[in-house]
Amino acid sequence: MKIKILFARILVWILILCMVGVFLAQLVFANMAIPSTPPQNITVYDIGYESEGGQNWFVQFRWGAPTYPPEATGDKTQIFYFNRVKRGTGELESDVLEFTLNHTDTSLSTSGYGIELDHGTIYQFYGRSHYTYGELGQYEFLSGKSNTVKFLTNLEFGAELISGTNEIRIVWDDVWDTDGRIDYRILISDTSGFTQPPSIPDIIGANIGKEGSRVTASNGKLEYIYTNALPGREYSIKIIPLVDSDIAVIPEEELPVIKVKTEIILKAKKMGETSDNIRWMLFWDPIIKGAIGDTTFTKVEYKLYRYDQTGRETFFALVTDKDRYEMNIPPGDVEKYKYKVEAVAYKPDGSSVPFYSTTQVALVEQIPEHPAAPEFVSGFPTADPVPLYFDELLTSNSATLLWIAPYTGDGKVDTDIYYDLYLVENTEDIKNLPLTRKIGSNLSMTQGNEVRDSDTGKLIVYKYTISNLKPNAIYYCVMIARKNYLTESSGGFMLTMPYLSDPAIKVIITRPDTEEDKPLAPPSPPFRPAPGDSVGKTEIKLQMEKSWLELYNPEMKKWLYVIRENDPEAGSENSIYNKYNSFTYEEYLENAALPDGDERK
């Protein structure tokens, strides 16, 4: 019996030793894999657009095929990776995209494989080789990294004329490298070559956001306002990214061009009346004589045209070296005609440059005046297609502003209103707004900003989203409305002048990253200009209440401020309070008097 037990134990140990031996043999075999080389000498072979007009951007890579050992008897592949430089921080995000190719492939095009990359972003690209081996292909080997190449994807950019001026707004992607923002060169030229405007100094990325920089950064975009354009011309604009030599970019000659046409801004002014006629003056922004860039004009002729109600054109006046024309009109003809001005400027050698305009104006007088301050609202319950509320749109890193759309005296939407937007974190900055805190200049509201009433279809509110905010933080958003008028300067010539509104202030308290985080401040502290004359020439008086009352609005599903009993704003004609942002003190007393248990309380 003992011999049988001893024999069984010996047999068990033999089996264990055999299994360990097999395991160690397999382990040694696995560790004896002969390395394969990574893809060799990766280069950016081509980068640009597949079609004219800046359409279908692509980048193409080429490399030498990796070398695999004879032991690579299983699957052999190449794996390629994209790293991305994060916009706004320069942080390198590793392996955001992975792509596998056959082991014999030696090229890759993003368009050919449907690879979608973010525009205006710097990427890194590298590869590894991979193979499996063993009788069952149960082992695998991944090579080291190949060389890394860097490239910049296509820039998205746009340019438009600012209404009421000949200033051109240029907006493009805010590109970051690992050491900060990149630099840019903006090229602007007259498409006909007749006049070449003053060049724009190179934009240094490290200076953006500092005093003296003319570039505004907001929501992943950069903005520059070009102020040296002549009236009645067409300009070509191109953005050239200035990057380090190791970053592949689209060749300068292949970069897309945007064309913008300026206008000769024409306005009308009523001068007086006689027994038979009404005296009107047409005036316009002049073509400046003298040196403009590399061009000099010695004489400018303005041609005035009149259009009847059928659109028939009649030339009726030639004005030389002046920016206005006075005429007597019978009262019955005031509404019959519209007017247009074009110009011809002459160089010292007698050659000429035409300046065109398509704008036709009626004899309707515009009196320059400051626009009303934007009126922020906390919600729009009847918005189409769904109700909108500021608090519901608020996130940890974004806020959507809502304010009343401005209308003219004749009941039309005032599309000539533009907005400047500042975002500050210190109340002291509100008194003297730093240029470095401006996040938007001459913002125009487009169809995407419009919010209409679901019942009437009428435009009621504008919306604008601010992104890239910090979680659990307090911001003060300052909005100033502006409207441009053609006015007479102290020197006697006409120029475009902006008229600004009083500032409107909105407190933004972003949500925490997680529900467990506690906010740094109450959810909605009453913060606004102080009652009375709060806005002066050099200062703004602000008021933030330390304690206040709120009532719950079941229809809006949110808490609203209760107006103080003796608040002077409550009864004023232009009160900031309305049913969408507050309850009256009387409504509070009525609610407080309800018996406990009443569902309305």
Which pLDDT band holds residue 519 (cuts at 50, 70, 90)?
A: very low
Which pLDDT band holds residue 7 (cuts at 50, 70, 90)?
A: low
Identify the pLDDT of residue 394. 93
Instruction: Tell me: pLDDT of 524 over 90.
Output: no
Taking Cα atoms as reference points, which of 239, 228, 292, 237 lies closest to residue 260? 237
Which pLDDT band holds residue 545 (cuts at 50, 70, 90)?
A: confident
pLDDT, tens digit, 9 for 90 and up, residues 153-168: 999 999 988 877 888 9
Three-state helix/strand/coil letters over 259-293: EEECCCCEEEEEEEECCCCEEEEEEECCCCCEEEC
**If you average pLDDT over every residue of the chain, what do you get?**
84
Task: Fold for 379-536, please state it.
Answer: Immunoglobulin-like (2.60.40)
pLDDT, tens digit, 9 for 90 and up, residues 336-347: 999 999 999 898
Identify the pLDDT of residue 358. 81
Which pLDDT band holds residue 276 (cuts at 50, 70, 90)?
A: confident
Instruction: Tell me: pLDDT of 66 over 60.
Output: yes
pLDDT, tens digit, 9 for 90 and up, residues 77-101: 999 999 999 988 899 999 999 989 9
Which pLDDT band holds residue 28 (cuts at 50, 70, 90)?
A: very low
pTM equals 0.69
pLDDT, tens digit, 9 for 90 and up, residues 292-305: 666 788 999 999 99
Write b or e for each residue in 342-371: b if 16 or more Cβ atoms lie within 10 A of its Cβ, otherwise e. Answer: bbbbbeeeeebbebebeebbebeeeeeeeb
Identify the pLDDT of residue 25. 42
Same fold, 40-152 and 157-261: yes
Q: Using alpha carbons, list the distances in angstroms from residue 264 to 161, 163, 198, 293, 487.
A: 12, 12, 19, 19, 14
Tokens of 555: 């229809």
Q: Which of 15-29, 261-275, 291-305 has the lowest mean pLDDT?
A: 15-29
Tokens of 130: 């991979």
Identify the pLDDT of residue 521. 46
103 contact partners, CB below 8 Å, separation of at least 6: 65, 66, 68, 76, 77, 78, 129, 131
Task: Fold for 40-152, please state it.
Answer: Immunoglobulin-like (2.60.40)
Average pLDDT over residues 47-54: 81
Asked if 338 and 358 count as a contact pair (C-beta separation under 8 A), the reply is no
Instruction: Tell me: pLDDT of 17 over 80.
Output: no
Average pLDDT over residues 428-440: 86
Average pLDDT over residues 113-128: 93
- Helical spans, DSSP H, in 351-431: 390-393, 428-431
Identify the pLDDT of residue 14. 59
Q: What is the CATH number of domain 157-261?
A: 2.60.40.10
Burial class (CB in 10 A: 0-12, 13-18, 19+), 428: exposed
Q: How far apart are CA 31 and CA 574, in angstroms?
A: 81
Average pLDDT over residues 465-477: 91
Identify the pLDDT of residue 26. 46
Tokens of 502: 């009083």
Tokens of 77: 């592949």
Residue in the block written with tokens 């074009």: 342
pLDDT, tens digit, 9 for 90 and up, residues 383-409: 999 999 999 999 998 999 999 999 988
Domain definitions of the chain by residue range? 40-152, 157-261, 266-362, 379-536, 548-601
Average pLDDT over residues 514-520: 47
Taking Cα atoms as reference points, which of 49, 223, 169 lies closest to residue 119? 49
DSSP codes joined into one string, 97-138: EEEEEETT--EEETTTTT----TT-EEEEEEEEEEEESTTS-
Say which CATH superfamily domain 266-362 falls into.
Answer: Immunoglobulins (2.60.40.10)
